[in-house]
Amino acid sequence: MRFRVRKAAHVIERVGLAMAGAACGLFVGAYVGSAIPALTTEGFLLLMMVLGFVGFYLGIDTPQLPFDEAHGDIDAAELLSAAGTLCATLTALASVAIIVLRLDPHIAWSWFALFGWIAGVAMQIVAGAKARMRKP
């Protein structure tokens, strides 16, 4: 019974993180879509939200390698997950700030936000998949 409760708590936590990722994707999509007319579609917003959901579900809370000082190996999945999370959330934070403060930055910032978001969630997805494919 105790194992089931812990497993359920873990899944609930990861679904919550995934919803935060979807919200971040919505903010980035709203900002980028408002600045780039070709991306002002519901499909684009949905895509950004799905990318955030999957990235934050897989990429946050990746299983870590046991620490082995003798080999000095770097856990690439852990590093990629951390970098992806930072990149994606920084992009989302900047997008929210631009929306809330009603700023009008150069169009290059919109493209930078789009590519920063995609790079961040891609790193999270790859890291999460890599960490889960390891043999225990």
Query: Domain map of the chain by residue range?
Result: 2-64+75-132
**pLDDT string in tens for the chain (136-residue length):** 788 898 899 889 999 999 999 999 999 999 999 999 999 999 999 999 999 999 999 888 777 777 666 566 778 888 999 999 999 999 999 999 999 999 999 999 999 999 999 999 999 999 998 888 876 5
Backbone angles phi, psi at 80, to 5 degrees: -65, -40
- pLDDT for residue 55: 94
- pLDDT for residue 114: 97
Backbone angles phi, psi at 69, to 5 degrees: -65, -25
Cα–Cα distance measured from residue 107 to residue 83, given in angstroms and rounded to the nearest whole number: 25
Global pTM reads 0.85
Residue type, 132: R
Separation in Å, CA 71 to CA 35, 47, 75, 125, 135: 49, 41, 11, 26, 18
Please name which of 94, 35, 32, 24 lies closest in space to residue 57, comparing C-alpha atoms: 24
- pLDDT for residue 15: 93
Backbone angles phi, psi at 68, to 5 degrees: -135, 95
- pLDDT for residue 2: 83
